[in-house]
Structure 1
Amino acid sequence: MEILIHVEKKKLDSAYTKAVAEYIKRLSAFCRVKCIYYKDFSKLELQNSSACFRVVPGTDTISSEEFAAKIEELGLSGYSRIEFVVADPATVYDLDIAKFSPFSLSGFTMSIDLTTVVLTEQLYRAYTILNHITYHK
């Protein structure tokens, strides 16, 4: 599985960058993950064959187990790529909304930096669940 995370920011603050890099390193045992940073989303191109999600704050959050099951379901449905868009909510609504399914990590509104870290952590958590690996050591 290939996972692309499109981030509406030129770069993350250093502490967040280190956390994202750590989770991407851990995820490399299970899938390919790449964060792509944008100054603006005018150059954003999504693959038609990808499952696309926009990360938004909301009350429709799912558990880690449900997220893992969703990733597994997408893989079994023939998707080889999942794309997430992490952006200011106002920007997300300017994009072609029909291509995206909303995905909520939390009921809290978080910064783009923190949202990216939490997304990579939840991806790692999902893959540990799918591979029956103890998450906490």
Structure 2
Amino acid sequence: MKITLVTVGKIKEKFFSDAIAEYTKRLSRYCKLDIIQLPDEKTPDNAGEVMERQIKDKEGERIIASIKDGSYVIALAIEGDMLDSVKLSEKIDSLGIGGTSQIAFVIGGSLGLSDAVLKRADYKLSFSRMTFPHQLMRVILLEQIYRSYRIIYGEPYHK
């Protein structure tokens, strides 16, 4: 299985980079992982609703352009389905069994995802009704993908 993370924004803190590197290494025994990091648009402090939508749309165009044809797209969105770790592992496993060879997880920028990206998504996943910084969300998502593979292969994991 090939897993791609399509993300908006740079990782600035070393501790996030270190955690991402660690989970990337751990996941290498289970899947081929690719992380696509796209630039974010600068959002002025006084940005109104129209400007925010334009920013999301620009970021969304870049996201959609970087998703490979045939990928099953899972968008991280507050309004998505909340799954526990076992259910996420079952989702990943059933996609693989069903013939899906590529899953693209999409993490938007600070304003979230454009309507076009949400429409392109095959599935919307929520980790919480709370909002998290996209850098932290990248680490959390990688940890959950790693945990999913541990569950799929019947290996021990922390509950």
Contact 1:67–1:126 (CA under 8 A) maintained in structure 2: yes
The letter for the 2-side match of 1:92 is L
Q: Is the 8 A contact 1:56 1:103 kept in 2?
A: yes
Instruction: Give the aligned partner of residue 26 of structure 2.
Output: 26
| Greater C-alpha Rg | 2
For 1:51-95, what per-residue CA distance to the aligned partner results, in whole angstroms no more than 9, with x for missing partners?
A: 001112357310111000000111111110000111136441253
Distance 1:25 1:64, change over 3 A: same
1:126 equivalenced with 2:151 (yes/no) = no
Match 1:50 to one of 71, 74, 79: 71
Deviation of 1:16 (Å): 0.7
Once the two structures are TM-superposed, the CA of residue 48 in structure 1 deviates from its matched residue by: 2.6
Asked whether the equivalents of residues 88 and 112 of structure 1 are also in contact (C-alpha less than 8 Å), the reply is yes
Q: How many aligned residue pairs are there?
A: 136
**1:76 has 2:92 as partner:** no
1:10 is matched with 10
8 Å contact 2:72–2:104 — kept in the other structure?
yes
Cα separation, 1, equivalents of 2:114 and 2:148: 27
User: Displacement, 1:43?
Assistant: 3.1
Distance 1:59 1:92 in 2: 12
The alignment status of 1:61 with 2:85, answered yes or no, reads no
Q: CA–CA distance in 2 between the matches of 1:31 and 1:73?
A: 15
Residue 119 (structure 1) shift: 0.2
Q: Residue type of the partner of 1:60?
A: D
The residue type equivalent to 2:153 in the other structure is N
Please give the TM-score of this superposition, normalised by the length of structure 1: 0.89
Structure 1 residue aligned with 2:45: none
What whole-Å deviation, never above 9, does each CA across 1:12-52 have from its counterpart, x for those lacking one?
42111111111111011100112111114343321231100
| Percent of aligned pairs sharing the same letter | 30
Normalization by structure 2: what TM-score? 0.78
CA RMSD in angstroms comes to 1.8
Secondary structure (helix, strand or coil) at the match of 1:60 reads strand
> Aligned partners of 1:89, 1:103: CA distance in 2, in Å?
17
Aligned 8 A contact 2:7 2:109 in 1: no
Q: Which runs of 5+ in 1 are unaligned?
A: none
